[in-house]
Structure 1
Amino acid sequence: MLTLSEHASRHPKFWFRLSGALCLLLILLAAAPTLSPATFSFLNPLHIDTDPENMLREDEPVRVTHNHLKQEFSLYDVVVVGVINRDHPQGVFNARSLKDVYDLAAFTQGLRWEENGREQGVVGVDLMAPSTVDNIEQAGLGTVRFEWLMPSPPANDAAALQVAEKAMRIPMLRDTLVSSDQKALALYVPITSKDISYQIAEKLRAKVAEFDSDDEYHITGLPVAQDQFGVEMFKQMAISAPLAMLLIFLLMWWFFRHLRLVLAPLAVAMISVILTMGLLVVTGNTVHIMSSMIPIFVMPIAVLDAVHILSDFFDRYPRIRDRNKTIREVMEELSAPMLYTSITTCAGFASLAFTPIPPVQVFGVFVSIGVGLAWLLTITLVPAYIMLMPEDSLQGFGMSADKEGEEHTALARFLHALGRFTYRRAKLVLLATLVVAVGAGYGISKIQINDNPVKWFAESHPIRVADQALNERFAGTYMAYLALQPAAPATLDDARNRVAALLDETDAAIQEPARAIIAGTTAQTRDEWLREAQDAVADAREQADTDALWDAWDALGQGLDSVRQSAETFKQPEILAYIETLQKYLQETGLVGKSNALPDIVKTVHRELMQGEAEAFRIPASAPAVGQTLITYQSSHRPQDLWRFVTPDYRNTNLWIQLKSGDNKDMAAVVAAVDRFLEESPAPAALKHEWFGLTYINVVWQEKMVSGMLEAFLGSFLIVLAMMAFLFRSLWWGLLSMLPLTVTIGAIYGVIGWIGKDYDMPVAVLSALSLGLAVDYAIHFLARSRFLYRQTGSWRETVDAVFGEPARAITRNVIVIGVGFLPLLAAPLIPYQTVGVFISSILLFAGVATLLILPALLTAFDRFLFKNLQPTREAEI
């Protein structure tokens, strides 16, 4: 380290040219694929990804299941458009409003375009709107008529009201498409991929702006929230990073009162950010929610060591009056603390690489790289910059510039008073620390884990406003899906056994030829074997020469058909009744706004087959009757909707569950409720279940985030502790250095529990993020305390010295890095604001804890802790 600093002092221009060349190279490499994709196809273009699904690995079981079941049931991600009319007596169901809705639906169906060789946009055939869904009504006994709910805009308000009345009779549409108070309706816009949801939403907003009405239009949905976050993420980067740089500049200028000198740390910070983000892009990593915060983390960290250098230089230069000698003396004393603080910070962030969340891994690794680069740039560029400055530009620089000297400034007087307080009131400080620890423990016990991507936006944001408005009126805009299937698949052996039993009960007149026919069936799969047997029995029936034989063969054929249909689990009335019971149970929990499932289709069609009588709204008593309702439904305008709820072989089914809240705790409660129901109320046939959908995936990655962050924190804590024990050659001193950090994190998380703040994504990562940073203060304080103790031989005398320049440098760093994260409060996104508030709080509190708790402990245990330190005039390290 000293060699590098000396080389930079002798060859300052070389280091600045090298840094500039590296920045230019990485900027060109990052921009080249965008400027000329064909020429630079071997490089990775910048890719933005805000999909929380990608918080999980691609091979994560829940993602594999989610993608498989989405494909199996032909489901798409959905943008929700809500229309509300609060003024008209008929709500949104008036002629003028429905005309606009009709036009909007027609416009939405046409939103298709070509992108990267594939068609993107709205899946028009699956759009749910009044003009694109069926009204189901009876057309005489045993006949159902399917007509578009709103084939054209209604001619008058009376016709508009009929649209609402018809929709309210259909369970799948009530409180999904039409609100119960009929003041609002919703359009569900299926899209080919989540990453185009922002484009779709913007096109819809532009279309809505053309309407001249009093209707409120709201656009929401998890895909929109996630994609919108990606757009506003860049606004955050464009606002917060420059603000952080400006704040740091003003603080350092206030500390050192030398404009040209404080530019050096800013150059280090800027170059560190450019190199780190350049490496992120050219290595093919995406800019995710986490990695977007890399600049705001690297920038304040990058100036920490520079503050220590400038602070020491500020105090020593007036005495030495030689830049080179002053820099050498400063670097000799600070080399070890700076090296170890950088290593511990790198270790703290690098520990995130062991979490199960890929974006968090990328964030941790690249912040660690950024910190390492900042350390290297600090020990080279800061000395080089000082050597490039004219000697006469430092006239009046340093504490001698003040007539009364630095020791008599407000900061110096405060710190000396603080040092004396911690020495005289050490027991009081330690007692207060114990009280804080107990309170923190109770607060931590009250923490609840929860997240919701829609709540990443401020309450006044249109997405939050839309979310609240629509969930007040509809069953819920958050979708979760529950797939059910038989626990054991139907097998060929089972079919043969059931057919053998059927043959035993068959008319004796055809029993032997029937056994011969079955024995001659050679197909190797269950369905093909039964189909082949049915065909052979049908041929035998047609060849029967008496009515009795024909009836016997026909009865056998019907028996074979029953065996075949027995594998069609979700045609069985008792299974459908069980699902209906599950739906009622979910509704009664108060957690679910509504569920749509296969029984709703069956009951609706059955009612209309029975001339629309209310008592016929039930599940038919036999599988063939159920099959008849399903065949009837397939003659509608949207037969594909059936396969959203059941597979064509009727062996897998899917419940659509609507929630009014996207909070993870609510989704987790629904999962627990279903588990409880399935355990306490076994199905007529053993079933297994699987959850999928974005709302459920959010629960899974949040749980992994919590456990992963805890493991990362514990792992990095042990690593940093080992480093501290090695640095100080003592386990006790290592434990001592970790104490302010431990108390700080405990206190902050205790406050989170006390105030009821959700333990969400940004809060989850704070402990691991702050560990490597907060311990820096303790390293500097203890290293300088040991260094000064060797010179004084008395802790009482050392207190005054350590609360001089060392405490001033620590305090300046506490202010710089604590305030350096506050520009995140200017971000339009809640996660960044959360990180800004809590990381600043942790770092400020850790600085205060260091200057209070450590000297109090050293006072209380000075004989034990300093017993192996012999007074000497030589530096310890």
Structure 2
Amino acid sequence: MLLDRINHAIVRHPLLVILACLLCVAALASALPRTQITTDFEEFFPDQDENLVAYHGLQSTYTNVDNVFIAVAPKSGNVFSAETLSILQDITEQAWQLPYSQRVDSITNFQHTIAEDDDLLVEDLVTAPAPNSPEKLAGIRQIAVNEPQLVNRLISPDAKMAGINVIVNFHQEADKGAAIKLVVKSTREFVKSLKTKYPQADFYLVGKVMSNNAFKEATLYDMKNLVPLALLVALVCIAGFMFVASGSILTSLSGTFATLVIIVTSVLAAMGAMVFIGISVSPPVANAPTMILTLAIADCMHLLATYFQNRQAGQDKQAAMENSLRLNYQPVMLTSLTTIIGFLSLNFSASPPFRDLGNVVAVGVFAAWIFSVVLLPALVMVLPFDIKPGKQKSGGNNDWLANFVIERRLPIFIITAAAVLFSTSFIFNNRLNDVWAEYFDTRTEIRQHADYVRYHLTTNNTISYSLDSQEEGGISNPAFLQTVEQFSDWLSAQPEVLHVTTYTDIMKRLNKTMHNDDPAWYKIPDQRELAAQYLLLYEFSLPFGLDLNNLLNSSKSSTRITATVRDSSTDSILSLQRRSQDWMKEHAPKSLYHPGTSSDIMFAHMGYSNIRSMLEGAFIALLIISVVLGFALRSLKFGLISLVPNLIPAAVGFGIWGLTVGQIGLGLSAVAGMTLGIVVDYTVHFISKYLRAKREQNLSEPDAIRYAFRTVGTALFVTTIILTANFGVLAFSDFRLSADMGLLTAITIVVALIIDFFFLPPLLMFLAGKKPTTVTQTLTETGSSAPESL
């Protein structure tokens, strides 16, 4: 056979094979220096996403919303002291020098309006130098904590914390990632100098730019810490298993080194191909090396375990490896194919980074399969292995478990089925509810600062609306302004809303100011000409950089209303969006309707659409895998039977998650498709060994089950330990999407082993319709030769 000739050539010419493989890997890995790490949350959305389009529309119409927010908490607990106001003035002035700075807002440069006769005076609320008289300080405080534009935005109601908001503009920058890096570096150096200069205050750094940069930092953390940790855990597990299997330290070291080479080459090939394809490294993609190395291990273990057993049975080095390749080629190929199909199902994801993750891991699994059947045998031929004949261990140490399951098949099946039903009943306890503010772990600086600022001053979680009057200068139309005011007031009254930024607050303040600060005139002017005149006077008085483009478009036809939200959870922000849309449909002209948009809205919608698309992808992948298994196992019946143990683990995993956590985010939506290929690996090996015993050795049902346990039981257990440990490592990621994804995947893998040991064997026996014999046939082949695969 052609395959036998290829296997023979591999083991006879190992050096040539090693050289050819390494050259291929080097060619792919040559692209790695060009690897791009994304720093923009927009990478999570396709270009045609309607929420992203709406977001870009708002960004291009008004002042950009990318910002750096510096919060200042004086240790005295009083912002309105001469000392603290001087600090705020200094920061406000220096912040203009930050890279890409377009606008700086603080309580000190807030444009306070004063009327003198018929003139409108607009000046900084805190003039330089900062006043030190108690009366003036009290007056400034009175204005600030009662100004809707400031309170819960730039000053806390209790006046214990203030903020400086720096708007940055990246519109003309081709490399936004480099620009973000520069802004973050400069801002951190700036804040570091502030801490030295002003020890009497604490400083907190948040904002959208900082959050975007946190994506990159989380990615780098995972790649620098978790990938090496996962590799170390894997190597320790492999070395331990090989020592137990062979009884030789030299064999354990050589086998571990050979496996390490396969892992490294598979990862390098996949990541290099990633660069050639044009995929950037995002937080989900950063987990690809960990997943690839985990999945590559199983392929190596199949071949090495059988090779060890063949050598112990007395075969020479070359014959033992050729036999191992012959016996393992089909199951390794089949499990690799099903795993690839499972990860390719991530292409149904609505979020590009998860598609990228699926594609990169699929390439890595393919590379692992090729290298395990080509490069690994060649390495084994040239590495020293101390395997002596006669030390072979029978697989009979798994008989106790097989006998336990066979003899108690009915109660075990009932108990396992009941546990499955109980666990899966909690699936509907899960709520699709991402919390954008909690995407990063509490040990990260961005999360610590964001939590503190969120609890004491404001948040960076918003939803913005653009209301268009459909006419140039229509912003001064009293009817339009009344509608804007009503909508703003409605938003302010919502329990989720902390602050509303709206142009009507400015117009009402101007009207009041021009009427001798009479509170009765704090309302929208009833004449269009008067409103237009107020606007003209106000704009002429504003200093450079503090114009109204953050609220009005250039033609003065539309205005932006921004609600700052206390809780950024998916449920909360989508509920607010739906209610606001209902309000506009009921109370505003149709031409004014705007759906509302923000990064939080985008992630909320993405979570819902992604889980729907991923379930569709997982279902289609399951059907394809079942058809593949039906053909491979030469039985439609067993192809259908395989559906059961392939579906249950993910269902139970999500049920356990619903019982213990109850919240599903964007990252968990990919778990069903990811774990499908891994779960199938277990089912394939158990059923294939069961069928081999039935078809080729004519064993009875119970002895076929015993044969399956003997040939794959220990290996599946060890593989589960390795897979669980490696995916469990992801739980330590700073990025919650990755951490949750790794943890739930580990849970699902453990459940898969339990199902294949305690649910699948009784199911096979019941469907066979034959009573098991209590007499165990002598499995001559099993007792004297190696397991054919893991």
Flag whether TM exceeds 0.5 (same fold): yes
1:476–1:28: structure 2 CA closer, same or farther, 3 Å change rule?
closer
Q: Which residue in 1 is equivalent to 2:188? A: 202
Which residue of 134, 137, 141 maps to 1:164?
141
Deviations 1:391-416 (A, max 9, x none): xx42448853xxxx4557xxx3xx43
**Structure 2 residue 101 is the aligned partner of structure 1 residue 122:** yes
Deviations 1:13-68 (A, max 9, x none): 1121122222333333433xxxxxxxxxxxxx322114221222223333233222
Deviations 1:242-288 (A, max 9, x none): 11121111111111112212221111011100111111123332111
Whole-angstrom distance in 2 between the partners of 1:157 and 1:93: 11
Given that 2:491 and 2:563 are in contact with CA atoms closer than 8 Å, whether structure 1 keeps it comes out as: no
Question: Structure 1-normalised TM-score?
Answer: 0.82
Q: In structure 1, the residue corresponding to 2:196 is in which secondary structure? A: coil
Which residue of 31, 42, 53 maps to 1:53?
42
Which residue of 338, 348, 368 maps to 2:342?
348
Structure 2 counterparts to residues 214-253 of structure 1, below 5 A: 214-253=200-239
Q: Which residue in 2 is equivalent to 1:72? A: 61
Structure 2 counterparts to residues 5-44 of structure 1, below 5 A: 5-31=7-33
Alignment-mate amino acid for residue 583 of structure 2: F
Given that 1:138 and 1:609 are in contact with CA atoms closer than 8 Å, whether structure 2 keeps it comes out as: yes
Q: In structure 2, the residue corresponding to 1:299 is in which secondary structure? A: helix
How many residue pairs end up in the alignment? 757
1:155–1:622: structure 2 CA closer, same or farther, 3 Å change rule?
closer
CA offset at residue 355 of structure 1?
Answer: 2.7
1:854–1:617: structure 2 CA closer, same or farther, 3 Å change rule?
same
Whole-angstrom distance in 2 between the partners of 1:293 and 1:616: 60
Q: In structure 1, the residue corresponding to 2:548 is in which secondary structure? A: helix
Which residue of 551, 558, 574 maps to 2:479?
574
CA offset at residue 434 of structure 1?
Answer: 3.0
Q: Which residue in 2 is equivalent to 1:98? A: 85
Q: In structure 2, the residue corresponding to 1:152 is in which secondary structure? A: coil
Structure 2 counterparts to residues 136-155 of structure 1, below 5 A: 136-140=113-117, 142-155=118-131
Q: Which residue in 1 is equivalent to 2:256? A: 262
CA offset at residue 312 of structure 1?
Answer: 2.0
Q: In structure 2, the residue corresponding to 1:172 is in which secondary structure? A: coil
Given that 1:818 and 1:844 are in contact with CA atoms closer than 8 Å, whether structure 2 keeps it comes out as: yes
Whole-angstrom distance in 2 between the partners of 1:572 and 1:672: 27
Q: Which residue in 2 is equivalent to 1:795? A: 701
Identity of aligned residues (%): 20
Q: In structure 1, the residue corresponding to 2:204 is in which secondary structure? A: strand
Question: Structure 2-normalised TM-score?
Answer: 0.90
Structure 2: runs of 5+ lacking an equivalent: 171-175, 244-251, 773-778
Q: Which residue in 2 is equivalent to 1:774? A: 679
Q: Which residue in 1 is equivalent to 2:434? A: 451
Whole-angstrom distance in 2 between the partners of 1:379 and 1:876: 14
Q: Which residue in 1 is equivalent to 2:463? A: 480
CA offset at residue 443 of structure 1?
Answer: 1.6
| Further displaced range: 349-358 or 599-608 | 349-358
Q: Which residue in 2 is equivalent to 1:537? A: none
1:54–1:302: structure 2 CA closer, same or farther, 3 Å change rule?
same
Whole-angstrom distance in 2 between the partners of 1:748 and 1:825: 15
Q: Which residue in 1 is equivalent to 2:247? A: none
CA offset at residue 676 of structure 1?
Answer: 2.4
Alignment-mate amino acid for residue 604 of structure 2: V
Q: Which residue in 1 is equivalent to 2:330? A: 336
Structure 2 counterparts to residues 492-503 of structure 1, below 5 A: none
Q: In structure 2, the residue corresponding to 1:646 is in which secondary structure? A: coil
RMSD: 2.6
Deviations 1:601-632 (A, max 9, x none): 11111110111111111112222222232223
Q: In structure 2, the residue corresponding to 1:654 is in which secondary structure? A: strand
Which residue of 373, 379, 388 maps to 2:373?
379
Given that 2:465 and 2:594 are in contact with CA atoms closer than 8 Å, whether structure 1 keeps it comes out as: yes
Whole-angstrom distance in 1 between the partners of 2:420 and 2:610: 25
Q: Which residue in 2 is equivalent to 1:517? A: none
Structure 2 counterparts to residues 588-599 of structure 1, below 5 A: 588-599=493-504
Q: Which residue in 2 is equivalent to 1:730? A: 635
Deviations 1:650-707 (A, max 9, x none): 432211111123322222111011022223x322575221323222222232233222
Given that 1:46 and 1:286 are in contact with CA atoms closer than 8 Å, whether structure 2 keeps it comes out as: yes
| Further displaced range: 717-726 or 686-695 | 686-695
Given that 1:226 and 1:453 are in contact with CA atoms closer than 8 Å, whether structure 2 keeps it comes out as: no
Deviations 1:89-129 (A, max 9, x none): xx1222222222222222211123xxxxxxxx221xx2112
Alignment-mate amino acid for residue 143 of structure 2: K
Structure 1: runs of 5+ lacking an equivalent: 32-44, 113-120, 491-566
Given that 2:431 and 2:664 are in contact with CA atoms closer than 8 Å, whether structure 1 keeps it comes out as: yes
Given that 1:50 and 1:226 are in contact with CA atoms closer than 8 Å, whether structure 2 keeps it comes out as: yes
Whole-angstrom distance in 2 between the partners of 1:833 and 1:876: 35
1:151–1:378: structure 2 CA closer, same or farther, 3 Å change rule?
same
| Further displaced range: 700-709 or 184-193 | 700-709
1:319–1:876: structure 2 CA closer, same or farther, 3 Å change rule?
closer
Q: Which residue in 2 is equivalent to 1:522? A: none
Given that 1:133 and 1:638 are in contact with CA atoms closer than 8 Å, whether structure 2 keeps it comes out as: no
Q: Which residue in 2 is equivalent to 1:702? A: 607
CA offset at residue 178 of structure 1?
Answer: 1.2
Structure with bigger gyration radius: 1
Given that 1:239 and 1:826 are in contact with CA atoms closer than 8 Å, whether structure 2 keeps it comes out as: no
Given that 1:222 and 1:478 are in contact with CA atoms closer than 8 Å, whether structure 2 keeps it comes out as: no
Q: In structure 1, the residue corresponding to 2:463 is in which secondary structure? A: strand
1:99–1:611: structure 2 CA closer, same or farther, 3 Å change rule?
same
Whole-angstrom distance in 1 between the partners of 2:238 and 2:389: 14
Q: Which residue in 1 is equivalent to 2:95? A: 108
Given that 2:345 and 2:614 are in contact with CA atoms closer than 8 Å, whether structure 1 keeps it comes out as: no
| Further displaced range: 663-672 or 267-276 | 663-672
Given that 2:711 and 2:788 are in contact with CA atoms closer than 8 Å, whether structure 1 keeps it comes out as: no
Q: Which residue in 1 is equivalent to 2:776? A: none
Given that 2:64 and 2:169 are in contact with CA atoms closer than 8 Å, whether structure 1 keeps it comes out as: no
Q: Which residue in 2 is equivalent to 1:759? A: 664
Q: Which residue in 2 is equivalent to 1:525? A: none
1:684–1:385: structure 2 CA closer, same or farther, 3 Å change rule?
closer
Alignment-mate amino acid for residue 148 of structure 1: D
Alignment-mate amino acid for residue 725 of structure 2: V
Q: Which residue in 2 is equivalent to 1:611? A: 516
Whole-angstrom distance in 2 between the partners of 1:442 and 1:802: 31
1:728–1:854: structure 2 CA closer, same or farther, 3 Å change rule?
same
1:858–1:227: structure 2 CA closer, same or farther, 3 Å change rule?
same
Given that 2:14 and 2:379 are in contact with CA atoms closer than 8 Å, whether structure 1 keeps it comes out as: yes
CA offset at residue 568 of structure 1?
Answer: 4.6
1:366–1:865: structure 2 CA closer, same or farther, 3 Å change rule?
farther
Q: Which residue in 2 is equivalent to 1:115? A: none
Deviations 1:352-389 (A, max 9, x none): 22333222222111111110010000011221122213
1:52–1:6: structure 2 CA closer, same or farther, 3 Å change rule?
farther
Alignment-mate amino acid for residue 776 of structure 1: D
Structure 2 counterparts to residues 681-692 of structure 1, below 5 A: 681-683=586-588, 686-692=591-597
Whole-angstrom distance in 2 between the partners of 1:764 and 1:684: 38
1:219–1:688: structure 2 CA closer, same or farther, 3 Å change rule?
same
Whole-angstrom distance in 2 between the partners of 1:832 and 1:808: 30
Whole-angstrom distance in 2 between the partners of 1:86 and 1:202: 21
1:742–1:865: structure 2 CA closer, same or farther, 3 Å change rule?
farther
1:104–1:207: structure 2 CA closer, same or farther, 3 Å change rule?
farther
Whole-angstrom distance in 1 between the partners of 2:648 and 2:590: 55
Whole-angstrom distance in 1 between the partners of 2:780 and 2:443: 63
Q: Which residue in 1 is equivalent to 2:269? A: 275
Whole-angstrom distance in 1 between the partners of 2:95 and 2:389: 67
Given that 2:500 and 2:562 are in contact with CA atoms closer than 8 Å, whether structure 1 keeps it comes out as: yes
CA offset at residue 827 of structure 1?
Answer: 3.2
Alignment-mate amino acid for residue 160 of structure 2: K
Whole-angstrom distance in 2 between the partners of 1:873 and 1:321: 15
